[in-house]
Structure 1
Amino acid sequence: MTRATATFNGKLIAETDSFQFVEGNVYFPPSSILDNKIFTPSDTTTFCPWKGTASYYNISVDGVEARDAAWYYPMPEGPKTERAAGLKGFVAFCEL
């Protein structure tokens, strides 16, 4: 079985055996985030025609911050909503 991990500033921040791979990005289920306190909401949003509006998080580990380093779809919407619905709340990371 394949395991997905995400690290930032030398710290493991997410790991899972149960992820979704969409458009070249690994989407981690919310339960795979190891420390929610390192994530702070960002005001940034983007729009995908089939997944809807993405919200972003800043990540901060040991005083090092990466702005808009993770995104998720709080309410997937659009013409392929059935497919996108499975991504609700899942988190993907920019290259960290």
Structure 2
Amino acid sequence: MKAVVDGTVLAEAPKEELIAIEGNWYFPPSSVKSELLSPSDTPYTCPWKGECQYFDVTAGVAVLHDRAWSYPQPYPTAFDRVGKDFSGYVAFWKEVEVTD
């Protein structure tokens, strides 16, 4: 699967390596082009997943604010709920299209 915005591939991995959580596909850290992501200062803590790290996404000359996020150190109880360790996995939002 691929995460793409304006023709720029942000992440790519086989579907079986992704994790679906609450309608979003989370890509393994090794599949993400980290040079296209910049950490954002936007704070958020999910009540069951833990502290979130948002990222701004660079696509060509455009910078899209908070269009990616990750849970670097999810709550241990979240692994039971999801069924896997999703530490550092990255999901995308809005303009970013995730396709097969």
Does residue 11 of the first structure (1) align with residue 3 of the second (2)?
no
Identity %: 36
SS where residue 75 of structure 1 aligns?
coil
Q: Which runs of 4+ in 1 moved over 6 A?
A: none
- The CA deviation at 1:95 is 2.2
- For residues 90 and 53 of structure 1, the distance between their equivalents in structure 2, rounded to whole angstroms, comes to 13
SS where residue 74 of structure 2 aligns?
coil
Bigger RCO of structures 1 and 2 (CA < 8 A, at least 6 apart): 2
Does the CA-based 8 Å contact 2:40-2:66 persist in structure 1? yes
| TM-score, normalised with respect to structure 1 | 0.85
Partner of 1:51: 49
For structure 2, which runs of at least 5 residues remain unmatched after alignment?
96-100
Partner of 1:40: 38
| TM-score, normalised with respect to structure 2 | 0.82
Measured against aligned partners, the alpha-carbon deviations of 1:21-47 in whole angstroms (never above 9, x if no partner) come to 0110100000111x3211111001211
Root-mean-square deviation (CA), in Å?
1.6
Measured against aligned partners, the alpha-carbon deviations of 1:2-38 in whole angstroms (never above 9, x if no partner) come to xx210012111111111000110100000111x3211
- For residues 65 and 76 of structure 1, the distance between their equivalents in structure 2, rounded to whole angstroms, comes to 27
- For residues 82 and 62 of structure 1, the distance between their equivalents in structure 2, rounded to whole angstroms, comes to 35
Partner of 1:81: 78
Partner of 2:98: none
- For residues 65 and 36 of structure 2, the distance between their equivalents in structure 1, rounded to whole angstroms, comes to 12
Q: From the two aligned structures, give the one with the greater strand fraction.
A: 1
